[in-house]
Amino acid sequence: MRKKRGNFADLEPLIPPTTLHTIQLNLMAKHVVATVDEIPPGERKIVELEGRSLGVFNIDGEFYAVRNICPHQGAPLCEGRLTGLLESDVPGEYRYTRKGEILRCVWHGWEFDIKTGQSWWNPAQKRVRKYPVEVEDGATVASGLQKGPYTAETYSVSVDQQYVVIDMPE
């Protein structure tokens, strides 16, 4: 879910964009949580942000983040298996779709759509909290640095890298 980056024009860059630097980042409420090549398609990374555990998933090159707590009983949802949907419109006819896009909880097997956070068995009522994820290039990340309550992980920011950035609501 590649989004247009926000307007940070009013922010004074603390570090020149070209500087290679190791620092914990807090970009407004944006957190750098990984480099793009750290989470290949089909893989995931579990991160801590502002005391919350989140799973960041790469599905065919797009990144998604959901809370690592199952809304059912609080299990570490994001440690679950990635699966697809086996569906049947009429008995005897089956199709397997959405391969790798469905997260199955480690405890009771509740299925969630990683792209929307919705549960598959009750999409109207049950959902896991989903967070917007962007991919930013190194220059943008570095230029947007500011002091703050640093909670994200430590990254060497390089302009020729791309970063997975989560936008945490206040």
* Least spacing, CB of residue 160 vs another protein, in Å: 37
Token pair 């969630």: residue: 112
Q: Are 64 and 1 in contact (CB under 8 A)?
A: yes
Tokens of residue 133, six digits: 């994820």
One residue of 87, 108, 123, 156 binding another protein per CB under 8 A: 108
* Interaction of residue 107 with another protein, rule CB under 8 A: yes
CB of 101 to another protein, least distance (A): 18
For another protein, the closer CB: 95 or 108: 108
Residues 80, 133: Cα–Cα separation, whole Å: 20
Tell me whether residue 81 or residue 99 sits nearer to another protein (CB atom): 81
Q: Helices (DSSP H) in the chain: which residue ranges?
A: 138-143
- 148: nearest Cα among 35, 24, 52, 51: 24
Q: Which is nearer to another protein, 73 or 156 (CB)?
A: 73
Over the window 51 to 90, marking each residue x when it contacts another protein by CB under 8 A and - when it does not, the resulting string is ---------------------xxxxx--xxx---------
Closest to another protein by CB, 9 vs 124, is 124
67 touches 114 (CB < 8 A): no
Picking from 4, 114, 109, the residue whose alpha carbon sits closest to that of residue 60 is: 114
Contact residues toward another protein (CB under 8 A) are 72-76, 79-81, 106-109
